[in-house]
Structures are given as C-alpha cells and as structure tokens.
A and B are shown apart, each in its own frame.
Chain A
Amino acid sequence: MVNFSDLNFIFRFLPVFLVAFYLTPVRFRTWTLLFGSLLFYAVGDLRMFPALLAAVIVNFLFAKAQFGEKSKSLLFFVLAIDAGMLIEFKILGQYVDKSLLPIGISFYIFKMISYQMDVYRGKVEKDASFVDVAAYFCMFPQVVSGPIMRFDKYLENTALREKTSLSQIAESIEDGLRFFVAGLAMKVLLADHLAMLWKDIGTIGYESISTPLAWLGAVTYSLELYFDFWGYSLMAAGIGVMIGFPFITNFDHPYGSGSVSEFYRRWHATLGSWFRDYIYIPLGGSRKGEARTVFNLLVVWLVTGFWHGITLNFIIWGLSLCFLIICERLFVLKRFPAPLSKFVGKVNVLILIPLTWVVFAISDFDMLGTYFSRLFPFTGSGIAVNQGDFLKNIGIYWTVLLPSLILLIPKVYDFWVNRRNRWIFNILWLILFWACIYSLAGAAGNPFMYFKF
C-alpha cells in the first residue's frame, strides 16, 4: 500500500484519508496528517517503524534546544546521530539483509538534517510544535521517496492553518488530482512498460545483445528511470497539493539542459539543492578557489554515489558525473567558444548521461563491463547475438518509446500545465486515469525503483 500506484492506496487509503483530513477541524488537522502518515508507514514497514519514531523524537528535542541559544556542538552531535543512523542502516541493508533498510530512511533523514541546519541558521523562526515537526518528517506523500521538502514550504500549507471553504477544498483536490494522474500515467503507462524492455534485455543476457539493442537499452533505462521518478514526484506533489501544500517541483525537464551541471539542478531538484545547501556551500562551495571547488564537488558526488548504494557501480557513477561536471566547469563552459560549448554540453546531456545511467543500473561489475563491450563493440564480440533483436524490440515497444521521447520536449508538458483545467484535458485525464487503473488491475505493479535506496 505504500506505493502510490497501488490500487489499495488509490481507492482505499487516499480517499479515506482525504475525507478524514478535511472533516477534522483545522486545529487538529495536523494530527490527522501525522496519524495518517504513521499508519501509512506502519503498514509499509512495521518492523522499522520504531526507527522512524525514535529519529523523529530525537530530532525534535535537539532542534527544540537550538531555539534558545545556538550551539554548534549540539548541531554536530545531532547531525552525527542522523548521519550515523543512515549509514548504519545502509550498511545493514546492503550487507546483512535488505529488509533491514527502513523504507524511506534516505529521505526522512535528509529532511531531518535540513531541519536541524535550518533551525541552527535561524531560518525557522518560531519554536515549532511537536506535531508540526513530526508531521513534516513523516508526511506520507513524501516519507517514502521524497521530494525533500524544506520546513518553510511545510509552513506554507493553508489547510493546516486557516479555515478552508468547501470550494477551496474541491479546487485543491481537483488540481492535485491532475498532477497525480499525470504522474500515475508516466509511471504505469510509460515507466513500467519501459522496464519490461530493460528486463527483456537482461533476460537475453548482455553478452548476446546487438550493439543497436545495447544503445536502445541505454535509452530505455534512462527513460524508465526518468518517468518512474518524475511520475512518482508528480504523484507526491499532487497529493501534497490535495492537502494544501504548495506544488514541489522535483523535475524540471532535465533533458532540456545544456550541460551536466544544469541537468542535476533540474533532475531530482530537491536532492540536488539539498546537497548544495547542506554540503557543498558549508564546505565553501566555489568561493575558495578552483582546487577547493573541485574537492567540494568530489565530496558531494562521492556522498551522492554512496547515498544511492554501497556498491562500486554507484561510486563510479558518482565519480564519472563529478568528472563531467568538473570538465564542464574548468573547460567546456569556460574556455570553449560558445557554439562548441553548447554542442558539447548537449552531447553530454543526451549521450553521456544515458551512459552514466547504464553504470547506475548494473551493479555487477563484470556485467557492466560486458554491457559496455556491447555498446562499443570494438572491445570484443558477443555470443549468440541475434542481429534482428533491435528491430524486433522497436516493433514491440515503439508505442511506449515514442511518447516517452516526445515528453522529453519541455514544451509538451508545459502546454498541458498552462491549460490543465480545460475541458479537453479534464476528459483526457479521466480516460488516462482509468487506463492506468485498468493496467494496474490486470497486472501486479512493480514498485518504484527508488524504493530500494
């Protein structure tokens, strides 16, 4: 049920929660949000529920102490607890048993760290109440996979603070629903189907795919990851809107970027800005000279790599992106003539980024090597390769690949956003919703890929 594209979430939890939420008097709504979220989490991961509770209480208490006199040592102490907890569970989950990794820990710990730093920096003005802080950490639209919303955005919620008229409620729910359905369609109709092609390629075995299929696989996996996570983020943001939060942008057409650094400002933006505000800038950012900047970037990307998983491929993934970004910073964007730098930037985004996703996808190092030898076949030949595999798969999957590629064009999505309350889109969205539900009812859905992180 902790999956937004689960029928039980859509038809049981969400409607019941929304009714309960808006029936609760404004004064107690935060409690409804908190209890609903705790219930949601407990259903998903009862065993690790105490870990969440403990982290919430510890972080609330430490932050409360900071509202008086600021203490740097206190801040470091609680940050060490948070980071230690995240690292410990990551290691347990990686080396002992997967089920020991609490659902969403990467995300709720990051929220807690950001809260601690914001309180210390004086960005949270008044002494926040326990229920607000706990609801902020645990709120079910974000607890599992982000977005990593900041506390100031949490405070912007109107439904938790002011009396809302019935028509305001209806408007919020309807608008949130639009984003939710858009995200659901990306996840169910695009990402899940793209996942099948990626899985098929695995079934064949990387040593036996033709080079065109290897490249199609790189594109497919990149698109799958994109629509899986963008879809998830839209659903999460949509549910947020339904209960009065501002829309949180987590993806801002990353593939329209002109460089890798820009790509990562627009891809999973709340994670990127978290790294910027709570690691990169505290380390000095780019203000302490080139050498220090390079070092800071290295730290950020190593941590990003480890955050995704403690396997070699994630480290290589992080380092290769770091390398690309440093190259862009020092040479491409700085020294190259404008047209060339523009061209190289685009190549980086459209060709090198998909290759980095292949590294991201394949955790077995030998298999990764095999895949790259098929991408670049001059390094060796395959076994039992069927040269017709590319056309065969295009024939099967073009109905998913084509719309996915079209949706990469920023204008397409923006066109809808700006006209989303037109009748034609309302009707289309209703159809889209039922198409997703039909597809979900027929097959068992596969959970978001980011759940494992």
Chain B
Amino acid sequence: MKILKKCPILVGIVVITIALSIVSLIFKDTVYAGYADKYESGDIPLMALALKGATDEIFPWSSTEEEALLPEDTQGPDEGKELTEEESEPEGSEEPLEVVDISGNDISGNDISGNDVSGNSEDITYEFTEVDDDYFTDAVFIGDSRTVGLSEYCEPLDTRATFYAKVSLTIYDVFKKEYIKTDDGKIGLEQALTENQYGKVYIMLGLNEIGTGDNEYFKNAYAEVINKIRELQPDAIIYIQGIMHVAAAKSRVDKNFNNEKINSRNASLAELADNKTIFFIDMNESVDDEEGNLDSTLSSDDVHLKASAYERWHEFLLHNAIVR
C-alpha cells in the first residue's frame, strides 16, 4: 500500500502492462494471430498485441473468423476525411438509349469472360474518344485518397461529378463502411447507389489493400463489387481505373507498395472488363516517367499527386471516354 501511495503512476503502469501481457499471451495464437509475427521477431513487446488489436477493433471476445489482419492504411494519415455528396443530381442527359442491348450484366463472380471485344451477343466495338467536361455531369467517382484529391483539386470534375471517395477506402470495405456524408448522416455505398442513378461509374481502388491477399483474392473481391454496382446501376458505363503507380523512391524500397505489384494487380483488373459496359482504363500513362514509375516531380510523398498534377488525370479522362 505504501508503494502505491509513493508511486501511483508507476504501479498503474506496471499493473496494466502485466494485465495486457497476460491477455496478449493467452490470445496470441487466436485473435491476435495476425500480429504475432511482429512480436516474435522482436519488433513489439508482448503487451502491444492487445493494443494493436484494439486499434483494429479486435478484442479477445471477437470471433477469430473475421479477417485478423485488416489492411493497413498507408494512404493518408488524416482519417475521417470524408467527402460530402455532391448536391447536383445526376441527370441522364447523355443517355441516347440506343437500341443496342448491352448485356454486360452477366458477369458472375469468378466467371468473367475477359476482354473479348466481340462478345457473344452483340458485335459492337466501342472506342475511347474525346469528350468535354459535361460528360461528367452524370458520373460518380468511387475511390480512396487519390480520388479525394481529384475532387479537391480538379474543379471541372468537382463541380460536375459526384464523389463517393474516402481516405484509406479499400475494395473490401467499399460496400461495408458507411462513409458517404449526406444531410441525414452517413450512408453506405449501396444506399447511395440505390437512391441515385448515374450514367458513368469510375472506380479506382486497390492501393491500400495491396498487402492483403493475392491477385486472385483481390480480383474476386473487385468482381463482386463490380457486380453489385452493375446491379444497382444497370445503365451505367463502369470504368475500372487501374491503380495509379507510386514514385520510384517508394517503389524501390517497399515490399508491398511497389509498381511491380501494382502492375500485376492492374493486369488482373483489366480482365474484369467486358468492353461493352465495363471498361478498363489506366491513367498511369499520363503521370509516369520513362521507367514506368509515377513521375517524382508530380508527387511530394511518392504516393499522391500534387494538387497541380490532377489536371493530367482529368485530361486523361477527357480523352479516354466511351460514348454510346
């Protein structure tokens, strides 16, 4: 008792440390299995397992079946940055509704027929053409911090299109998180896409989760998301955007966030396109240097475009549009 009176903070720290260590030890191989390697390699003390778990909302009473290791957020430190939903109601102004029946609705999960332009039902080949900014008045952009940046620093798009983007968003949680701000609070993507119809859906996701799972796993998750968007937006052109590269300095040293990995993910994404209603576009050509890395002059942190460089992305979109 005397010692508690003399050093209450020390005692408090020691007692809590012991308690956390015991909890960590007991659940090391079950709920905290995802972090155990960090402990075993000596990177973190034992008690940190319980705290690391808590930051990912994993507690001893959590079921172990959930993904133990959530994708890390390396995108932007400022979580909680959300975009407000655009006021402007998308109009189907550019929907000529040609007689062509674009039956892209039959992508089912894993079975995606790839890039065969001359599909079985209709032999129509679409080509990317140049459009003007009004093309985007009925477009919605879904993405992570990079798309957030596009909304903040590309006025022509921001004033016309809708943005459902959030820092550190991943393909795995895009339909799980309620991240879209509306006047009546936050809603999920499913609700937002149910209440509003768009002519074009642009999606760029995949960097935050690049350390999670393999290409196949990623591709399947992506396909599911595309399916769901297809269901909710039957008439929209869906643009799968290849993941933007990182700069060479990052790519060289990072075992996950490197362009080799990004390119292989992008190759998988390209297979999801049917080139009838779902198209794959890769804006990297507009921001890459000669070696195929994000041009370092366009980025201060090697991951995000500088504000002044978003115009390149915008220009790319203007020149790579589908008009039906």
Contacts and interface: CB of A to CB of B under 8 A. Distances in A.
A167 B10 CA distance: 13
Contacts of A396: 78, 80-81
Q: Among B8, B10, B80, find the residue whose CB has the most chain A CB atoms closer than 10 A.
A: B10
B121 interface: no
Given A12-B45, A396-B80, A438 B51 contact: yes
A437 B51 contact: yes
B8 A208 contact: no
Interface stretch (B98-106, B178-186, B266-274, B305-313): B305-313
B153 interface: yes
A7 B51 CA distance: 11
A29 to B, nearest CB: 20
B3 A170 contact: yes
A386 B152 contact: yes
A256 to B, nearest CB: 28
A208 B9 contact: no
Interface in B20-44: 42-44
A438 B16 CA distance: 12
B307 A426 contact: no
A202 B17 CA distance: 38
Nearest to B56: A442
A434 B308 contact: no
A202 B6 CA distance: 47
Contacts, number: 112
Interface in A356-384: 383-384
B286 to A, nearest CB: 16
Given A386-B152, A438-B54, A430 B48 contact: no
Interface string B284-312: 00000000000000011100101111110
Contacts of B306: 203-205, 207-208
Interface in A418-452: 423, 426-427, 429-430, 433-434, 437-438, 441-443
Nearest to B79: A396
A11 interface: yes
Contact of B307 (A204, A388, A423, A441): A204
A196 interface: yes
B261 interface: no
Q: Size band of the A side of the interface? A: 35 or more
Given A204-B306, A433-B13, A442 B300 contact: no
A177 B7 CA distance: 9
**Dominant SS among interface residues on chain A:** helix
A392 B48 CA distance: 33
Nearest to B46: A11
B207 to A, nearest CB: 14
Contacts of A11: 17, 45, 47-48
B45 A7 contact: yes
B52 interface: yes
B10 A208 contact: no
Q: Among A11, A173, A383, A433, find the residue whose CB has the most chain B CB atoms closer than 10 A.
A: A11
A403 to B, nearest CB: 17
A200 interface: yes
Contacts of B43: 8
Contacts of B78: 196-197, 200, 396-397
B44 A383 contact: no
Contacts of A266: none
Given A7-B45, A199-B301, A386-B153, A178 B9 contact: yes
A205 B307 contact: yes
B55 interface: yes
Q: Among B76, B300, B307, find the residue whose CB has the most chain A CB atoms closer than 10 A.
A: B307
A262 interface: no
A341 to B, nearest CB: 41
A219 B168 CA distance: 27
B213 interface: no
Interface in B73-101: 76-78, 80-81
Contact of B308 (A199, A200, A208, A397): A208
Contact of A167 (B6, B47, B48): B6
Nearest to B299: A203
Given A8-B44, A11-B47, A200-B78, A433 B55 contact: no
A196 B75 CA distance: 12
A386 B148 CA distance: 13
24 contacts: A8-B42, A8-B43, A170-B3, A173-B10, A199-B77, A200-B77, A202-B301, A204-B300, A204-B306, A204-B307, A205-B306, A207-B308, A208-B307, A208-B308, A209-B307, A383-B307, A384-B155, A385-B307, A386-B153, A427-B8, A438-B55, A441-B48, A441-B52, A441-B55
Query: A-B pairs with the 4 shortest C-beta distances?
Result: A205-B306, A208-B307, A442-B55, A441-B51
Given A208-B306, A441-B55, 12 more contacts: A8-B45, A202-B300, A204-B307, A205-B309, A386-B307, A388-B152, A397-B78, A423-B8, A427-B8, A433-B9, A433-B13, A438-B51
